[in-house]
Structure 1
Amino acid sequence: MPTRSSADLIVIGAGVVGAACAYYAARSGLRVTVIDRGAVAGGTTGAGEGNLLVSDKEPGPELELALLSVRLWRELAGLLPPLIEYEAKGGLVVASDEASMAALRGFAARQERAGVQAEQVTGDRLRDLEPHLAPDLAGGFRYPQDAQVQPARAAAHLLRAAAGGQGSGGVRLRLGEEVTGVLTGANGEVRGVRTARGDVRAPYVVNAAGSWGGALARLAGAGLPVLPRRGFVLVTEPLPRVVRHKVYAADYVADVASGSAGLQTSAVVEGTPSGPVLIGASRERVGFDRTLSVEALRRLAAQATRLFPVLTGVRAMRTYAGFRPYLPDHLPAIGPDPRVPGLLHACGHEGAGIGLAPATGLIIARVLSGAQLPLDIDPFRPDRFGVAG
C-alpha cells in the first residue's frame, strides 16, 4: 500500500466540528490533514439550521461548553467573512400557559446562576419582540446570547482560515476519500489511517465523523455508542423578516433532553438573512433511513403556525433531513481515548454540534499542545460508556 505525505494530525470529518478542530490545531502550529468521504459539510453540518444556543441547556458540562463556544463564535465572526451569516439575534422561548411559564422561570433561574443571560418577557410584551407571534401566549424568556450561523459556509471558511495565516501549521484537505482503517504501531498507538488511495501517516487522529463516529471508533478498536437521530427542517418561500429571533416553545427543551427513540417534534422557527423561514426540529431514531416522514413535517408545520399564525398561508418550498450524532447521556465525546494512544474524539454532539464546535476544537488543540484546558473535560471522556471496540 503506498504511503503519502505525513502530518502532525489527521482530522476525520469535514463538518463544522472537524473544521474547528483543524482551525485551532493549525493555529497552534500543527500540520493538519482533513479527510472526508464526501464534501465539506456534506453530512450533519449541511443539514443543520446553524443554532448557537445556550437557552436550551441545563446547568452542567454541556452548558459550560456552550458558554465558551458563544464567546469563541463572537471572536470568529470578526475574523471570518460575513458570508457565514453570523447573527447575534437572540433566542425567545415562549410558554403557552401559566404552568409552562412557571417551569420556564425555574429553568431560567438555574441557568442564570450558571452564567446565562435570561430576560423574562410578559405575555403582553412578547409582540413587541415578535409582532407576528400568536396573541394568547402566557409569556417567555429572551436569551440574548443565542445566535445563528450558516453552518456549511461556517465550516468552509473555518477550513480556509485554518489553511493560511501567520503561525498556521497549514491544512491539507482530502475529500471523497473514505477512511477504511486506522494504522497502529506495535503498542497499539495510532500511526495514521488507511484509505482506498493510500496510507496517510500521523501520530494523532481526531474522530470528528459525526453520526458515523461510532463506526470510525470501531475501526480504531475503541467502542463509542454513537447513534443517528434523524431530523427534518422545513424551508419556506422567501419572506420579509417576519421572525426576528430564534423562537421556540418551552417543550423543545424537554425533547432535546429525551432519550426516546420515537418521533418527537417541537417547532423552532427563525428567519434568515436571505428571506426563507426555517422550521425545525424533529427527532427520531430510525438508523440512517432518509425516507421522508410526512407525519414529522405535518407536526412541524402545525406547531409553527400555532406560534406564528402569519405562516399559515406561506408555501413550504423544500425540506431536508439530517442525522444528529446521539450519545446515551446527551454529552459529546471530546478528548483523548485512553484505550488507543493517539486517538482523540470530537463527536456525539447530537443537535448542538454547530454551536459547540469552537469549544470542541479549542479543547482538542490544547490537549495536543499540552496547553491549559479551558474547562474540565472529564465529563466528556470517550471511554465513559465502557463499550468494547
Structure 2
Amino acid sequence: MEHPDVVVVGAGVIGAACAEALTAAGVEVLVLDRAGPASGTTAAGEGNLLISDKAPGPELVLAQASLARWPRLLDELRSELGHVAEVEWQPKGGLVVATAHGDELLEFAARQRAVGVRAEVVMDPYEYEPDLTRDLDAAVFYPEDAQLQPVLAATTLLAAVRRRGGEVRAGVTALGLRPGGVVTSAGFIACGAVVNACGPWAGEFSAAVGAPINVQPRRGVILVTARPMGIQVRHKVYDADYVGAVGSSAAELQTSTVVESTMAGSVLVGSSRERVGFDDTIRVEVLRVLARKAVRLFPGLADVPVMRAYGGFRPYAPDHLPVIGPDPRVPGLWHVTGHEGAGIVLAAGTGQLLADLYLERAPAVDPEPFRVDRAGVMA
C-alpha cells in the first residue's frame, strides 16, 4: 500500500480496533508497529472487560457502549473470517467482594445501578464461588463483566484489516511527521492522517512529532498459577479496594486482590500499579504482596504453585480518561491512547468513536471528555 488514507502507529488492541473500524467504513489503512502486533501492553494484559470497577462518568459511558459492541463485533468477524476469529470470549460475569467496609461497596453499586449497570447484591456469595474466604462483609455480582484473550482479540481485528485490503507492517518505527505523511525507519509514507495509538509510548511519540501529550507508563504485574486441584475460580473475583487502586493517582505501588481463571485452567492473580517509568524489573516483594492477598481471598490457593509472572506498561493519563481525537496543533494527527488497564473493554467503543470522528459521523458516545486539548493532557 503506497498511499494509505490513514497510518495507525501501534498494533496493540487499541490500534487494531481503530484500524478495524476504519476499514469497515472503506478507509484504506496501514498499521505500523516497531515490534509486532499485540506485543506490548496488549500481551501483558489479563483480557478483562469490566463494567464493575467504573464509577458513573465518561469512562463508564464509553465502557457500556464498548461492551455492548464487543459481542456484535465478534459475531461479524466470525462471519467474515471464520475460525480465525477465536478470541476465547467468556461472558462469565464478575464478583466484587468486600472483606471490610461493605457499605461502601453497596453504595458504589447503587450509584452504578442508577446509570444502567447491572449490579446485583449477593446474599450468599458462596453459591457463586464456594472456595472464597468466609471473612466477607458484602458482595455484588456484575453479570455484564466478561473476559477474552487480548492477543487473540488484537490479531483477529488485524486479520479483518488485512482481509479488507489494509496492511500491517511489523518492525517499522514511526519517527516523525512531514507534510503529507509520516517518516519511518523504512522511509517516508504518504498518507492523509496519522493515528498515535502507541499506548504507554504515546507520550514519547507525541513529543517526537511536535505535539506532546501527557501520557505516562504505569507498570503492572500478574502472577500465573498452575491448574489448581480441589479449588475453583468460576468468575472474575476481586476485592472492592481494586476500584480505589485503579483510580489512584499515586506514583508509588498500589495493589489489590484480583483472581480469575483462564480457559487453559491456570489462575491469574493481580493486580499492581506503580509509575516507575519504563523500568521492567519484576520485583519479588511485589509478587509476595499479590500472592498474600490472593490467598486471603481464596485460602486454597496457598498450596497452588506459581508457574510464572509477567508485567507490562499501561498508558496513564492524569485524569484517568482516554485521549481520543484530533490534535489541534498538527493537522492530520490523531491521538488514541490513555486507556490504562481498561484498553480491552474500551477498545471496541474507542475504535468506533475514532472512526465516527474521522468520518464526521454523529458519534454514539460524547467525545468531549476525551478531547486532546483538555486540561492536564496537552503539554
C-alpha distance in structure 1 between counterparts of 2:308 and 2:269, whole Å: 11
1:134: which partner in 2? 133
Corresponding residue to 2:89 among 81, 86, 89: 86
Contact 2:245 2:256 in 1 (8 A): yes
Partner SS state of residue 205, structure 1: strand
C-alpha distance in structure 2 between counterparts of 1:62 and 1:143, whole Å: 17
Amino acid at match of 1:329: D
CA shift, 1:375, in A, is 1.3
C-alpha distance in structure 2 between counterparts of 1:247 and 1:275, whole Å: 15
Measured against aligned partners, the alpha-carbon deviations of 1:224-261 in whole angstroms (never above 9, x if no partner) come to 11111101000001236711110000100001000000
Amino acid at match of 2:96: V
Contact 2:14 2:343 in 1 (8 A): yes
C-alpha distance in structure 1 between counterparts of 2:221 and 2:377, whole Å: 30
Measured against aligned partners, the alpha-carbon deviations of 1:88-117 in whole angstroms (never above 9, x if no partner) come to 0101100113xx211011101111111110
1:159: which partner in 2? 158
C-alpha distance in structure 1 between counterparts of 2:218 and 2:18, whole Å: 23
Corresponding residue to 1:50 among 42, 47, 50: 47
C-alpha distance in structure 1 between counterparts of 2:36 and 2:131, whole Å: 38
Gaps of 5+ in 2: none
Aligned Cα root-mean-square deviation (Å)? 1.4
CA shift, 1:386, in A, is 5.9
CA shift, 1:178, in A, is 0.8
Matched, 1:323 2:313: yes
C-alpha distance in structure 1 between counterparts of 2:146 and 2:256, whole Å: 19
C-alpha distance in structure 1 between counterparts of 2:138 and 2:377, whole Å: 44
C-alpha distance in structure 1 between counterparts of 2:60 and 2:74, whole Å: 21
2:168: which partner in 1? 173
CA shift, 1:163, in A, is 2.1
1:59: which partner in 2? 56
Contact 2:20 2:351 in 1 (8 A): yes
1:215: which partner in 2? 204
Contact 1:26 1:163 in 2 (8 A): no
**1:370-385 → structure 2 map (5 Å cutoff):** 370-385=360-375
1:239: which partner in 2? 228
CA shift, 1:359, in A, is 0.6
Contact 2:314 2:339 in 1 (8 A): yes
Matched, 1:68 2:65: yes
Cα distance change of structure 1 residues 386 and 285 upon mapping to structure 2, 3 Å threshold = closer
Matched, 1:264 2:267: no
C-alpha distance in structure 2 between counterparts of 1:134 and 1:387, whole Å: 42
* Percent identical residues: 52
Measured against aligned partners, the alpha-carbon deviations of 1:290-309 in whole angstroms (never above 9, x if no partner) come to 11111111110001111111
Contact 2:162 2:168 in 1 (8 A): no
Measured against aligned partners, the alpha-carbon deviations of 1:170-212 in whole angstroms (never above 9, x if no partner) come to 210110111111122xxxxxx2211121111111111100000
Amino acid at match of 1:114: V
**1:307-346 → structure 2 map (5 Å cutoff):** 307-346=297-336
How does the TM-score come out when normalised to structure 1?
A: 0.93
**1:188-203 → structure 2 map (5 Å cutoff):** 191-203=180-192
C-alpha distance in structure 2 between counterparts of 1:134 and 1:364, whole Å: 43
Cα distance change of structure 1 residues 347 and 387 upon mapping to structure 2, 3 Å threshold = closer
C-alpha distance in structure 2 between counterparts of 1:86 and 1:216, whole Å: 32
Contact 2:219 2:272 in 1 (8 A): yes
Measured against aligned partners, the alpha-carbon deviations of 1:126-173 in whole angstroms (never above 9, x if no partner) come to 111001111121221000110011001110011102222xxx4x2101
Cα distance change of structure 1 residues 290 and 386 upon mapping to structure 2, 3 Å threshold = closer
**1:119-130 → structure 2 map (5 Å cutoff):** 119-122=120-123, 125-130=124-129
Matched, 1:285 2:285: no
2:7: which partner in 1? 10
Corresponding residue to 1:28 among 11, 22, 25: 25
C-alpha distance in structure 2 between counterparts of 1:140 and 1:276, whole Å: 24
**1:344-383 → structure 2 map (5 Å cutoff):** 344-383=334-373
Contact 2:105 2:138 in 1 (8 A): no
C-alpha distance in structure 2 between counterparts of 1:183 and 1:386, whole Å: 27
Amino acid at match of 2:92: K
Partner SS state of residue 84, structure 1: coil
C-alpha distance in structure 2 between counterparts of 1:385 and 1:33, whole Å: 31
Contact 2:6 2:191 in 1 (8 A): yes
C-alpha distance in structure 2 between counterparts of 1:275 and 1:387, whole Å: 41
The size of the alignment, in residue pairs, is 372
Contact 1:26 1:171 in 2 (8 A): yes
Partner SS state of residue 328, structure 2: coil
1:106: which partner in 2? 107
Cα distance change of structure 1 residues 387 and 134 upon mapping to structure 2, 3 Å threshold = closer
Measured against aligned partners, the alpha-carbon deviations of 1:262-289 in whole angstroms (never above 9, x if no partner) come to 0111021000111110011100000000
Cα distance change of structure 1 residues 76 and 238 upon mapping to structure 2, 3 Å threshold = farther
C-alpha distance in structure 2 between counterparts of 1:14 and 1:144, whole Å: 30
1:252: which partner in 2? 242
CA shift, 1:70, in A, is 0.6
